[in-house]
Amino acid sequence: MAYLNANIPATYAQIRREFLYDLKDHHGEVEDCVVFGITSITGRAILFHAIMENGAVFYRLPIHAFIQRGYKVANVPRRRLDELELWNCFSYYPAVTTYDILLGQSGKYIGKDKLWHTGQYLFTVDFAHPESNIVDTDHSEIPHEHKCAHILALEDGNYAAQPNNRLIWSIPSFTVKDEVPFDWKVQTSEWSVENSTQWKTEDSDRFFYGIEEKEKTTSELLKEGMDLQIKLEEKNE
C-alpha cells in the first residue's frame, strides 16, 4: 500500500488554466495534460498530479481542475468540487485498483442536486490503516464509516469521485434489474473467523492437526438461554 502518493492509470485530460495561476488569471482557458498520480491526505479531497506539454509537473490539484480531452471548455459545466467528490480522503494510505469487471463500463451516481449523472469507470481509490503500531485516528476501517472513491469520466466532460452508496453500474449482460434498492442498510458488522470460543486445535505436532469442539461453560449456556428468552419475548410483543 502506498503512503501519501500513488500511481494511477495515465489519463489524457485538459487542465483549467486558472489552476496554474492560483485561480487568479486565465479563467475559461485549458491546456492538454496527462494526469498520472494522486496524493491522499486525511481530511482533504483527493489531489491529482499532472504533467504539461512543456514538461512541467503540477502537484495536488482537485478533480474539478480537469476536464476530458475532446471537450470544448465552454461546453463543460462548471461544478463545485463537492458536487463531483462527496468525501475527503480517509487516510494517508491509499490503494489504487482498476477492477476488471467495471473497466470500460458506465455507471451513474445521484448527486447533491438529486439528479443522476452518468460516466465511464476509470479506477478506484480506497483507504486503510497501515499497521497496529501507528495510532489509528481515521475512519477507514470502521465498517459503517468506510468509503471508497470510484473515479468516473462523466458524459458532461467533467470527472467525478463517488462512493459505492451513490452509484449504480450498467453492465448490459448482467445488470438487468431496474429497481434502485434505497432500503438497503449500511453494514455495521466486523467479520472474523477466529473470535469464537467454540473450537480449538488439538495440542499436537501433527501437520494435519485436528479441530476440536469445546464444551460450553455454564455461563455460556446461561447466556444462550437468556438471549433466546429475549428473542422470544420480542417476537411475542
* Assigned C-alpha cell, 202: 488439538
Domain total of the chain: 2
Q: Compute the distance between CA of residue 177 and CA of residue 196 in angstroms, rounded to an integer.
A: 38
Q: How confident is the model at residue 198 (pLDDT cuts 50, 70, 90)?
A: confident
Helix, strand or coil, per DSSP, at residue 108: strand
Domain match, 31 and 134 both: yes
86 shares a domain with 148:
yes
Same domain, 111 and 49: yes
Q: Which domain holds residue 119?
A: 5-170
Residue in 93, 134, 72 with CA at minimum distance from that of residue 3: 93
Q: Measured between alpha carbons, how far is 32 from 67 in angstroms, rounded to an integer?
A: 10
Same domain, 139 and 209: no
In a domain, 177, yes or no: no
Residues 201-220, mean pLDDT to the nearest whole number = 82
In a domain, 188, yes or no: no
Tell me how far apart the alpha carbons of residues 125 and 123 are, in angstroms, rounded to a whole number.
7
For residues 186-207, one letter each, b for 16 or more C-beta atoms within 10 angstroms of the residue's C-beta and e for the rest, the string is eeeeeeeeeeeeeeeeeeeeee
74-83, 129-138, 177-186, 206-215: least confident range = 129-138
**What percentage of the chain has pLDDT greater than the value 70?**
95
- Rounded CA-CA distance 79/111 in Å is 11
Query: 170, 191, 209 — which closes off a domain?
Result: 170
% the chain with pLDDT above 90: 65
In a domain, 187, yes or no: no
Kindly state whether residue 186 falls inside one of the protein's structural domains. no
Residue 135 pLDDT? 67
- The reply to whether 25 and 138 lie within a common domain is yes
Same-domain status, 115 and 222: no
Q: Output the pTM of the full model.
A: 0.84
Higher pLDDT, 111 or 193: 111
Residues 74 and 23 in one domain: yes
**Domain co-membership, 47 together with 84:** yes
Q: Is residue 178 part of a domain?
A: no
Do 166 and 209 lie in a common domain?
no
Contacts (Cβ under 8 Å, ≥6 apart) of 107? 118, 119, 120, 121, 150, 152, 167, 168, 169, 170
pLDDT of residue 59: 96
C-alpha cell at 23: 485561480
Same domain, yes or no, for 39 and 106? yes
Q: Is residue 204 in some structural domain?
A: yes
Cβ(183)–Cβ(121) below 8 Å: no
Residues 6 or more apart from 83 whose CB is under 8 A from it? 111, 112, 113
